[in-house]
Chain A
Amino acid sequence: MSKFNKDKEKSTPQVSTASLPDIVFMLLFFFMVSTVMREVDLKVKMEQPEASEIKKLENKNLVNYIYIGSPTEAKKYGTSPRIQLNDAFATVKDVQPYIETKRSEVNEEEIPLLTTSLKVDGDTEMRIVTDVKQELREAQALKISYSTREKVVK
């Protein structure tokens, strides 16, 4: 029996941590590549409603965003719902020019694929949403998506 117990006295070797930076760097690159930095600073309150019959919006560069909600800085801008395009507040009149500029930024053959994502706060009244929808119709931007959160199925 003693034959097998010869080396028992040896201490366990230390785990080498030399590969730790490599592992961390791998993770780092993964996150760097997959990160999408938020393009705009939200100036309006955004609590989207929940829905269950939803689809993912594919191809993010072909999506235009329109934000609608009451301003977060209520003291400065009041509480009535406002439209936000890019980084600034806008009026209903600005929707058509906005769509036009977005169209000029993509290839011509991709224009029919452009989708407008309406990110609207749940407490907003439909009045302003309907106005925006009418403008979108006029601008021939007919593909829209009502942005929602996913409802957790009970």
Chain B
Amino acid sequence: MAGKKAPPEINASSMADIAFLLLVFFLVTTTMDTDLGLSRLLPPPLPDEIEEPPDIKQRNVFEVLVNSNDQVMVEGDVMQISELTEATKEFVKNPNNDLDLPEKELRTVDFFGNVEVSKQVISLQNDNGTSYNMYIQVQNELARAYNELRNELSMEKFGKTYDYYLETGDKPKVKAIRKIYPQRISEAEPKNVGGVE
């Protein structure tokens, strides 16, 4: 057969261009946003018949109020947000066994033996007009106080930070540290105070 030629080869040099085009498309549309956030657990809904709330001594409660002008009041005094972490740490730790600061009770914790654990509770109350920005900042500062306390304790005892044990998943140690500094943030129902309307 004289007329039959070998089929011409397909030119593949544009393949790279096509692939690049697709690549750029995916590069542009990709959002590799990992969802980051402050995790919290809401209290379960209140039962119909209201029980008496457990009696908590005033000295064990750290009252944080945020009004509609985004001002913070802690234990009756106006406070800047930047001071909140230190104040919270001071309260939770109660290093000098101050009578105005929370009581402590002896508890047995793994690794630590008998330790004094403070009976602290943080009560956070915000106004309906508080901005979400402020609310998150306050939550963040409170969480930071706990994390710093836990880190300090962990450094003292094990020589490594609490974050390190969280990341490596060393559950017993994490649990022990959490038992000494339990994060107790209670949120009161918001009030309409100090706002217009």
Q: Which residues of A contact B (CB under 8 A)?
A: 17, 20-21, 24-25, 27-28, 31-32, 34-38, 49, 51-57, 60, 63, 115, 117-118, 120-127, 129-130, 133, 136-138, 140-151
Contact = CB atoms under 8 A, between A and B. Distances in A.
A149 to B, nearest CB: 7
Given A57-B37, A146-B136, A146-B139, A31 B27 contact: yes
B45 to A, nearest CB: 5
A35 B30 contact: yes
Interface of B is mostly: mixed
Contact of A28 (B19, B130, B133): B19
A150 B45 contact: no
B144 interface: yes
A130 B140 contact: no
B17 to A, nearest CB: 9
Given A31-B26, A35-B26, A125-B132, A54 B19 contact: no
B190 interface: yes
Contacts, number: 147
B29 interface: yes
A24 B20 contact: yes
Contacts of B16: 17, 20-21, 24
A74 B32 CA distance: 29
Contact of B31 (A25, A36, A147, A149): A36
A94 to B, nearest CB: 18
Chain B, interface size category, equals 35 or more
A123 B12 contact: no
A146 B45 CA distance: 19
A36 B34 CA distance: 10
The 9 closest A-B pairs by CB, nearest first: A145-B37, A122-B133, A31-B26, A53-B143, A51-B140, A57-B35, A127-B128, A24-B19, A49-B136
Given A31-B30, A122-B131, A125-B128, A137 B19 contact: no
Contacts of A38: 31
B196 to A, nearest CB: 12
B20 to A, nearest CB: 6
A56 B36 contact: yes
24 contacts: A21-B15, A24-B23, A25-B19, A31-B23, A35-B31, A38-B31, A49-B133, A52-B140, A53-B144, A53-B147, A55-B36, A120-B132, A122-B132, A123-B133, A125-B131, A126-B129, A126-B135, A130-B128, A136-B42, A137-B43, A140-B45, A147-B35, A147-B37, A148-B136
